[in-house]
Amino acid sequence: MILYPNAKINIGLRILSKREDGFHEIETLFYPVEPADILEIVESDKLVFNEYGIRIPGKPEENICIKAYNLIRDDFGIPPVEISLFKKIPAGAGLGGGSSDGAHTILLLDKLFNLNLTHRQKMQYASRLGSDCPFFIENRPMIGSGRGDILEPFPLDLSHYTVKVVTPQCFVSTAEAYRAVVPRDKREGSDSRPLSQLLRYPVEQWKNFIVNDFEENVFKKFPLLAEYKEELYKEGALYASMSGSGSSLFGIFSK
């Protein structure tokens, strides 16, 4: 059984404050895009993980797909499986590739073993894997708040535009990006209007007030990323931004 875990972009990413638990309160719009990985799961006599395509950092036994399998196995006693993952979404790119793989593993195991998980159960398992994972259970435009795990549908349709994603060859540490950013509650003059309000303006106006708060510090460390963003605008993008904590950037163009 095969699924195609897709990527996401962040349209606007506001770091509002640091929480007592060490995480940050954020506000962002998650939007599903290509590229997509290829995920296949079949029953097996032992647990096997095969990886292909772009190299996946870390030990195979620690891959998020294995973690998702273990969560389901512990609760439902499902048999061993062979998981084959062909990676097309680069790691450390702000595209949510790992989170998507984990969420789609939950969806695939549910189908493969006829578990009949409720939507709420799928979301709960996904949230245990990581903050971005619940979005890929929904997989439609959603405003993310809290740690990004509080999701609310948002009526954004970019089907009349072309979304171009570029991923320069550099790895941006999400942990380092968070350590370097100054939350908005510590800065004067930050736009306090909710992102949901700003997104209702025409796409052509977004570049004036929808920002990714990580860009300032990430661009200082990786000037090449700023050059890629500028190049997207030179190519005619109506709006361009870094996705997540980078390193991918995207441009939204008229078709």
Query: In the annotation, is 110 catalytic?
Result: no
Strand order of the sheet with strand 249-254? 161-166, 249-254, 239-242
Take residue 151 and report the two structure tokens written for it.
Answer: 């999701």
Per DSSP, what are the bridge partners of residue 226? none
Of the candidates 8, 87, 122, 229, the residue annotated as catalytic is 8
Under DSSP, is residue 118 helix (H, G, I), strand (E, B) or coil? coil
CA dihedral 75, 81, 87, 89 (to 10 degrees): -20
**Nearest CA among 218, 209, 180, 152 for reference residue 11:** 209
Per DSSP, what are the bridge partners of residue 110? none
Take residue 202 and report the two structure tokens written for it.
Answer: 């025409």
Of the candidates 37, 132, 149, 213, the residue annotated as catalytic is 132
Helix axes 119-129, 97-112, angle to 10 degrees: 140
Q: Are strands 150-153 and 38-43 parallel, antiparallel or unpaired?
A: unpaired
Tokens 């929808």 belong to 210
In 10 A of CB 120, how many CB atoms?
A: 8
Query: In the annotation, is 234 catalytic?
Result: no
DSSP state of 251: E
Rounded Cα distance, 96 and 91, in Å: 8
What is the identity of the amino acid at 132?
D
The whole-angstrom distance between residue 195's C-alpha and the CA centroid of its chain comes to: 18
Residues marked as catalytic: 8, 132
